Chain A
């Protein structure tokens, strides 16, 4: 079975990099809180989206639109407008999470293909079936919390195709079910489209240490010679039972490249690369490696081996220069 490569595009240069690098599909968002990478300077206005879709379609690449945050009554019109705009622009699929948004899209644009976002937190075939029966979704993206065995079971029972995360920043919490960011800042992925927003980050050099704070809360403290990372609040060092350490998660990226033969054999339809917030150069390098790996897998499914140079580059591009299989392998838990 052919595995599709779905790559991130935070702007037009990244989109072109992903298309040129061999993505089967790119995913984009509009320049507002209707998607889960609502960062300053990122994303597409209508004209840029039109150009991106034209560029991708001319080269046989699909474009998915992420509309995967949760509107509240006062802001609902923005999501409704974004659905309409995506459909009018001719995106190949809309990636949604909110039941109201999916309902609106399925009624208003019955021919528009719908994917269930990871932000919908659907971890079982039964949950996926709800969205399939109500809105006719055609694909579901699984949260990064399931093991290989669990993914296999979901695929066996799921009424729709399954997409999994292959590479990129790792949420240790179930996506769509994490409010840590709004607890500290008032803004969460669900409500605002961002986690640990940069506007709340403060760095302070104190004698002997560099401190990172998020809205006043100390996330980490770095001594001389320690590499300081972005203060995503679940990746800070905290004190539990008298010990200071990464109590929730280390700064690390997910990399499942070595698991590709297994994922393909169990019937995964697509692998997703995280990182709409990353640079075009990053998107280009990661897309090319994954394209090469997927082509190698297609040529020789049984003899596939992750090449060392691929793994080295992916590791070097990772958060904290570390990679993990995440929940795909039990020891990580």
Chain B
């Protein structure tokens, strides 16, 4: 067991494209859950604009008033010049800390008084990288999802004490980003005229092998695992400051309640895993944490 009541729970940004009201309802339902930290904003595609920057800030204020720590997450892949402008305004929002998901954001956030969170796509694979970013104001790092418990512990052993460690703990793993939109491609639509078709896939679009195995999930320019990663398939065996639960359309309250029960010591990982099976339609995996192929359970 490595659960302690001091372990915090975070909710990652919504990686899919949901309509405005769906997003607002989703977050309204979370205000009373035991989640401590909420990451807000669009991280996958700049064309998804059901909430405007000002709407995200307003939502952030509401969640903050409900006792949540709010962090704004930045776009993971910067391509167009207009996206640099969006990123700059996000970094200079003046109210909330920012999770940098690309080095352009780090460049803008270094030496900001608020400090910054380094997202999982920043490739912090060793303590040397972590120490350099910490010197520039990083107060929290999210481990790259392909790293193992061993790497996590080795990096933490050399980590400045003030830097918090966060691990992706539950959800479909973000595995890749591309210039190409696979959701539009699946509908034979060009990316520049995508008709925002990803609105039709609130949990992404399943990609299966020719022998019928659910394999990956297409989410616009992002590719995810079809299986849901669950750190609590067994006891994680390491002290982690923050466990990240990835936002999904269904079962959110149930998942958060189970993680909360685990950190308070009222439920062991085995029970959590058994009870959450029904929330993972594509099956589960935790190979990365154990130093194996990510898809393995």
Please give the residue numbers on chain A whose beta carbons come within 8 Å of chain B beta carbons, in ascending order.
70-74, 76, 97-101, 103-104, 120-124, 126-127, 129-131, 133-134, 144-147, 150, 153, 172-174, 176-180, 182-186, 188, 190-191, 215, 217-221, 234, 236-241, 243-244, 247-249, 327, 330-333
Contacts and interface: CB of A to CB of B under 8 A. Distances in A.
A186 B210 contact: no
B126 A247 contact: no
A120 to B, nearest CB: 7
B9 to A, nearest CB: 24
A101 B242 CA distance: 27
A184 B79 CA distance: 28
B218 to A, nearest CB: 7
B175 interface: yes
A186 B292 CA distance: 5
A183 B176 CA distance: 11
A87 B169 CA distance: 41
B176 A180 contact: yes
B294 A174 contact: no
Given A99-B128, A238-B209, A173 B178 contact: yes
A190 B8 CA distance: 29
Contact of A333 (B124, B154, B181): B181
Contact of B102 (A100, A127, A133, A327): A127
30 contacts: A74-B150, A74-B154, A98-B125, A99-B123, A100-B132, A101-B128, A124-B104, A130-B106, A133-B107, A147-B79, A172-B178, A173-B176, A174-B179, A178-B177, A180-B216, A180-B223, A183-B146, A183-B295, A184-B293, A184-B295, A186-B287, A188-B146, A236-B209, A238-B210, A239-B207, A239-B208, A240-B186, A241-B205, A244-B210, A247-B218
A70 B123 contact: yes
Given A74-B150, A183-B175, A330-B191, 13 more contacts: A71-B126, A73-B154, A73-B155, A74-B151, A100-B128, A126-B107, A130-B107, A145-B179, A146-B79, A172-B179, A173-B178, A179-B176, A182-B146
Contacts of A236: 209
A73 B127 contact: yes
B177 A122 contact: no
A262 to B, nearest CB: 18
Contacts of B123: 70, 97-99, 120-121, 176-177, 190
Nearest to A126: B104
A332 to B, nearest CB: 7
B126 A174 contact: no
The secondary-structure label for the interface of chain B is: mixed
B79 A241 contact: no
Nearest to A104: B128
A172 B191 CA distance: 14
Given A73-B155, A177-B177, A327-B179, A98 B129 contact: yes
Interface in B212-228: 212-213, 215-216, 218, 223, 225
B180 interface: yes
Contacts of A104: 128
A238 B288 CA distance: 24
Contacts, number: 217
B31 to A, nearest CB: 33
Contact of A179 (B102, B124, B151, B175): B175
B297 to A, nearest CB: 13
Contacts of A238: 207-210, 215-216
Contacts of B208: 238-240
Nearest to B211: A218
Interface in B183-210: 185-187, 190-192, 205-210
B80 to A, nearest CB: 6
Interface centre among A188, A234, A239 (most CB of B within 10 A): A239
Contacts of A241: 186-187, 205
A147 B110 CA distance: 28
Pick the 5 closest A-B CB pairs, nearest first.
A100-B128, A145-B179, A73-B154, A333-B191, A70-B125
Interface centre among A74, A100, A219 (most CB of B within 10 A): A100
B126 A217 contact: no
Given A145-B179, A180-B175, A333-B192, A124 B150 contact: no
A35 to B, nearest CB: 15
B178 A130 contact: no
A73 B179 contact: no
Interface in B97-117: 102-104, 106-108, 110
A34 B181 CA distance: 31
A120 B210 contact: no
Contacts of A185: 293
